[in-house]
């Protein structure tokens, strides 16, 4: 078996995008693509620049979690300078791009768990982290971070609720193909902004938990209820047992009946 080469040129060669990936920088090893992306965004790198790491030594997830990303998986960050009104759509764009790309390279049907987890068969296969910097005298800069488990054997990291694409598909998924498709899909959705209506509609339609009984854990609260809807900014509308509707902007959702794990 030949080992696939992941590099800037293997990603950009013949890439059919004009914005996302016009500059791709590959590092065999980084602490976190988010930090490198943030640093070069501050220096004004072109919009659409992508930072890819072969492996990350200090990958991070939402809510100060560690994101384990050894060699053989996908860890990248995309730098964008959207209108401020476009910021809420970035997590939707990234989630949809991941779901479409996984389908295209593996045939697997992935789902989105609010707000930004990607699941296959109820197990987490990917996650999205968005970090924005809004300054008064400059356009906003945003970094979309995407981590996808490809060769990761989650059980070896003590994770029974996670999986990798190779494990889930029973094959060998090409990281180069997956990343190239991701850049195409991100561009396709990003270019529909500032009108995010179609992105919002599709994202809402693909959320796994809508209409179900859930527990939402945030930094300050644990709330129970029915995940009734999501609003246009991506916030979860939770119908509480007393009939009131709570708007939740961040947290982790657990299905009361489980995700079928
Ligand atoms: C989450 O599930 O909480 C989000 C995980 C995001 C991980 C990606 S991997 C690429 C980028 N660099 C990081 O340090 N984190 C994101």
DSSP per position, 153-212: -GGGGT-SSB--HHHHHTS---HHHHHHHHHHHHHHHHTTTT--HHHHHHHHHTBSSTTS
Q: Which ligand 1 atom minimizes the distance to the CA of 61?
A: 3
Q: Read off the pLDDT of residues 30-58 as tens digits, 9 standing for 90 and up.
A: 999 999 999 999 999 999 999 999 999 99
Structural tokens at position 260:
């079928």
Mean pLDDT confidence for 233-258: 91
> Is residue 75 in contact with ligand 1, taking CB distance under 6 Å?
yes
Measured CA to CA, the distance from residue 138 to residue 156 in angstroms comes to 45
Q: Name the band, by pLDDT with cuts 50, 70 and 90, for residue 136.
A: confident
Q: Read off the pLDDT of residues 1-28 as tens digits, 9 standing for 90 and up.
A: 456 899 999 999 999 999 999 999 999 9
Ligand 1 pocket test target in 35, 65, 69 with most atoms within 8 Å of CB:
69
Nearest to 161 by CA among 132, 189, 188, 122: 122
Q: Name the band, by pLDDT with cuts 50, 70 and 90, for residue 197.
A: very high
Measured in Å, residue 145 CA sits from the centre of ligand 1 at 5
Q: Read off the pLDDT of residues 51-108 as tens digits, 9 standing for 90 and up.
A: 999 999 999 999 889 999 999 999 999 999 998 889 999 999 999 999 999 999 999 9
User: Does the pLDDT value for residue 260 go beyond 50?
Assistant: no
Mean pLDDT confidence for 212-238: 94
HSE (side-chain half, CA atoms, 13 Å) at 50: 28
Mean pLDDT confidence for 225-245: 95
CA distances from 95 to 5, 109, 160, 166 (A): 26, 13, 22, 20
Structural tokens at position 33:
């693509």
User: Does the pLDDT value for residue 258 go beyond 90?
Assistant: no
Measured in Å, residue 32 CA sits from the centre of ligand 1 at 8
> Is residue 34 in contact with ligand 1, taking CB distance under 6 Å?
yes
pLDDT of residue 261: 40
> Is residue 62 in contact with ligand 1, taking CB distance under 6 Å?
yes
Average pLDDT, the chain: 93
pLDDT of residue 220: 85
Of the two residues 156 and 132, the one the predictor is more confident about is: 132
Mean pLDDT confidence for 182-202: 96
């Amino acid at each position: 078996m030949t080992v696939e080469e992941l590099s800037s040129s293997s990603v950009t060669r013949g890439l059919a995008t004009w914005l996302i990936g016009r500059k791709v920088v590959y590092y065999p090893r980084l602490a976190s693509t988010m930090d490198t992306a943030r640093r070069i965004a501050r220096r004004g790198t072109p919009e659409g620049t992508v930072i890819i790491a072969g492996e990350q030594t200090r990958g991070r997830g939402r809510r100060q979690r560690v994101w384990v990303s050894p060699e053989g998986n996908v860890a990248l960050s995309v730098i964008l300078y959207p209108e401020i009104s476009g910021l809420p759509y970035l997590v939707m764009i990234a989630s949809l791009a991941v779901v479409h790309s996984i389908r295209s390279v593996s045939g697997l049907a992935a789902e989105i768990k609010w707000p930004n987890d990607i699941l296959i068969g109820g197990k987490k296969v990917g996650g999205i982290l968005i970090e924005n910097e809004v300054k008064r005298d400059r356009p906003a800069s945003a970094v979309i971070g995407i981590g996808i488990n490809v060769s990761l054997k989650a059980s070896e990291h003590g994770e029974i609720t996670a999986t990798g694409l190779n494990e889930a598909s029973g094959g060998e998924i090409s990281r180069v193909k997956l990343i190239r498709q991701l850049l195409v899909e991100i561009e396709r959705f990003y270019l529909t902004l500032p009108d995010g209506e179609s992105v919002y509609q599709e994202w809402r339609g693909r959320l796994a938990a809508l209409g179900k009984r859930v527990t939402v854990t945030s930094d300050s609260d644990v709330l129970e209820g029915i995940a009734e809807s999501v609003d246009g900014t991506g916030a979860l509308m939770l119908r509480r047992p007393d009939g009131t509707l709570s708007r939740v902007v961040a947290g982790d959702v657990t299905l009361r009946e489980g995700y079928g794990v």
